[in-house]
Amino acid sequence: MKMNPWTLSVLLLLPGPLGADPDWHVEYPDSFCVVEGSTTTIPCSFTHPAGLRVERVVWCTNNEFCHSSTPNVYDSSNFRADIRFQYLGDLVRNCTLKIIKTKKRDAARYHFRFETNGRGFTGRKGVNVTVTDGEDVKVRSSVTDHVVKEGGQVTLTCTSACSFHQLDVHWYRNGHALSEKGHALHLSSLTNNNTGDYTCSLDSSGLKTSAPWSLVVGEDEGRYARRVAVPVVSVVLAVFFLLLAGLVFAKRRHAQKKASEVIQKQEVDCKQEAVGASEEVSYSTVHFKRNSSRSAPGPEHEIVYSEVVH
Ligand SMILES: *[C@@H]1O[C@H](CO)[C@@H](O)[C@H](O)[C@H]1NC(C)=O
């Protein structure tokens, strides 16, 4: 049976077994999540009938046919495409796309198209790329309690709404980078050195960092209780002695004050008598001083007087 090209293309566009052609195929994940600012690769592979040579490969967005009029993020026959999109694939079967420093606006449905010396084919299903801001990055723990016994073990997992199998996960304790990489951090034979605040980050810049998860490697409960109880009892005792000392001091001061008031009263009585006496003394002093100050300019007055007379 001979099919005209139009019928053939209609059959190819039909979903289901009738439209599926095992010779022409693009394979990529249904959806792909990328953390904003990170660099990722979208895995992709394609097949075409043997004997054909691929001449052009295109990645486009939001158009299931990738017609030449639609905006491309990558086009092997055109160099003006965005340099943040790099084609890591080849012209044989690998169509992996790398997105560098993913931006919010990169979120779209991406399609891959290849054109051969015969005809072209677009992976119509596309891959839905979502971009998250990474605020949902969390540390999850294999244990619910934050206090883990010495010698025990715990596995911390870095999670996000994004699947980030393509990304490096970095771990930090109290803000200092740990050498361990990967989405799970396994800590065993725990010692007090493992105590701290753990965070994970989805890129090396540390921008998409989780909230801290506190791990306390506890000694056995008796020691733990003593470690808590001793300072508490010390503080209570210290406060008690301070209060006691304050009370004694206050009492003493009160007694001293009373005693000094009595003394002061007696002193006041004495002073009053003394003031009476000193008033007489000062009176006579003033009297005497007046006399002496008047007598001092005596000669000047006399001189002036004699001048007026002349
Ligand atoms: C396709 O190319 C990428 C980048 O070079 C590589 O990591 C990946 O393994 C390749 N995939 C296949 C199926 O060969």
- Protein residue closest via CA to atom 2 of ligand 1: 89
Kindly give, in sequence order, each residue whose CB lies less than 8 Å from that of residue 261, ignoring residues fewer than 6 positions away. none
pLDDT score recorded for residue 60: 93
What mean pLDDT do residues 182-201 have?
A: 93
pTM above 0.85, yes or no: no
pLDDT band at 266 (very low <50, low <70, confident <90, very high): low
What whole-number distance in Å separates Cα of residue 227 and Cα of residue 98?
54
- Nearest alpha carbon, ligand 1 atom 14: 94
Structural domain that includes position 173:
138-219
> In the structure, which protein residues have their CB atom closer than 6 angstroms to any atom of ligand 1?
45, 88-89, 94, 96
**Same domain for 116 and 19:** yes
Please check whether residues 107 and 46 belong to one and the same domain. yes
User: How many domains are contained in the chain?
Assistant: 3
Long-range contact pairs involving 223-229 (C-beta distance under 8 Å, separation at least 24): 224/147
Q: Please check whether residue 84 lies inside any domain of the structure.
A: yes
- Assigned domain for 34 exists: yes
Could you tell me if residue 304 is inside a domain?
no
Is 255 a member of any domain? yes
- Does the residue 284 lie in any domain? no
Whether residue 298 is contained in a domain is answered as: no
Kindly state the DSSP code that residue 192 receives in the 8-state scheme.
G
For ligand 1, atom 5, which residue shows the shortest CA distance?
A: 88
At residue 21, φ and ψ (nearest 5 deg) are -125, 110
Instruction: Identify whether 3 is part of a domain.
Output: no
Mean pLDDT of 242-263: 79
92 and 49 part of one domain: yes
Task: Give the CATH number for residue 209.
Answer: 2.60.40.10
Task: Let me know whether 262 and 155 are in one domain.
Answer: no
Cα–ligand 1 centroid distance for 89 (angstroms): 7
CA-89 nearest atom, ligand 1: 2
115 in the same domain as 79: yes
Structure-block tokens of residue 258: 């009373």
Asked if residue 115 is part of any domain, the answer here is: yes
